[in-house]
Amino acid sequence: MPRKTTTSLERKVNPDRKYQSIMVQRLINKSMLDGKKQAAERAVYEAIEGAAKTLKSENPVEVLEKAIANVSPDFEVKSRRVGGANYQIPFPISGHRQMHFAFSWLVQSARTRSGMPYAKRLEAEIVDAYNETGAAFKKKEDCHRMAEANRAFAHFARA
């Protein structure tokens, strides 16, 4: 029986109120806990404005976009069973999924930091991602390293 195919029913995300940016709105949605959108919105705005100030940039949205671009992975590994053995096979990642991983890793890394409010932690993580350092960027590097190490099994992806 063939698997179900997902039709392209991507959820439409409306732009945020302040910057009219879909990317900022998606970060707000990822940061939200227990449906408290206004608290998440306040924290995200404070974080991206603080990051822009730290990096001496005029536009907070550009800072966020560059940070997200630096954290977005190009490849991932998926486990696949071939002839009784499991192989980690590298696959390229499409745009929407890249963004999902980038936002998730950014928020996850900010939440694991400690000793300051969430807005400050997120700001620090955005600055680190912008400068290609930090936990979220390390996660991307690990993902790419894993894909590179298993490049020999890439031919199983087409099988």
Q: What is the pLDDT of residues 88-130, one digit of tens each?
A: 999 999 888 999 999 999 999 999 999 999 999 999 999 999 9
> Tens digit of pLDDT for each residue in 33-67?
999 999 999 999 999 999 999 999 889 999 999 99
The full set of domains in the chain, from first to last, is 22-157 (1.10.455.10)
Are the beta carbons of 51 and 67 closer than 8 angstroms?
A: yes
> Any residues with CB less than 8 A from the CB of 77 and at least 6 apart, and which?
88, 89, 90, 91, 143, 146, 147, 150
Residue 32, amino acid:
M
